[in-house]
Amino acid sequence: MVTVRRMDPSEWPAARAACIDAFDEPGIPELLDMLHSSWGWSDDLAFVAERAGEIVGLVLFTPCFVDAPERVVQVLVLSPVGVRRDVQGQGIGDALIRGALAELASTRAEPAVFLEGIPSYYPRFGFRPGGELGFTKPSTRIPDRAFMVYPLPSYDPSLRGALVYADAFWRADAVGLRE
């Protein structure tokens, strides 16, 4: 039985550890710490998966911007999402992402969630290629298929423009690493 909910601030060390274990990539601790200490951090935008009293997964959302023709629009970027390695492949990531997106849909004003990620994984949640909806990638290093967007309830199809990442992603050199 998995529970998906907003992270309590006191749970950050356990959530951070679960996410680092998920990736086993040297850049992840720095990215997590940059995001956690950035201007855009909000405890409301961190979601955990809990099973048997343990934090086994974490997904973070960070306020970023679409540089639209007439104005700058705040959006969210999903990154990173990780499930502890010993419990991967059991539906926890699925529950975590679906639960977090549903919660964002009912509580946040941003029109969309963007990500760069595995093209075969995210469409099941409703993510669509960003280019098809008129958005431009924040880096040419991101393959077109990896640049995706999930419209939230306030999304208006007339929204267009370039996604601009928050500085934490650049400072952690965590942009455009996907194959």
Ligand X SMILES: CC(C)(COP(=O)(O)OP(=O)(O)OC[C@H]1O[C@@H](n2cnc3c(N)ncnc32)[C@H](O)[C@@H]1OP(=O)(O)O)[C@@H](O)C(=O)NCCC(=O)NCCS
Give the binding site for ligand X (CB under 6 A). 22-23, 81-83, 88-94, 117-118, 120-121
> Quick one: DSSP state of residue 38?
S
30/94 with CB nearer ligand X: 94
User: Least distance (Å) from ligand X to the CB of residue 4?
Assistant: 11
Rounded to whole angstroms, how far apart are CA atoms 46 and 147?
Answer: 21
Please give the Cα distance from 55 to 168 (Å, whole number): 24
Q: Which residue is nearest to ligand X (CB)?
A: 93
CA proximity to 149, closest of 175, 173, 120, 125: 125
87: CB partners within 8 A, 6+ apart? 51, 56
| DSSP secondary structure letter of residue 7 | P
Our CB check for ligand X shows the closer of 66 and 87 to be: 87
**Nearest approach, Cβ of residue 69 and ligand X (Å):** 30
Query: Closest distance between ligand X and the C-beta of residue 24, in Å?
Result: 8
Q: Which is nearer to ligand X, 23 or 155 (CB)?
A: 23
Q: Return the closest-CA partner of residue 42 out of 74, 72, 82.
A: 74
User: Which residues, in sequence order, are bridge partners of residue 142?
Assistant: none
- 90 or 154: whose CB is closer to ligand X? 90
- Work out how close the CB of 153 gets to ligand X at its nearest, in angstroms, rounded to a whole number: 24
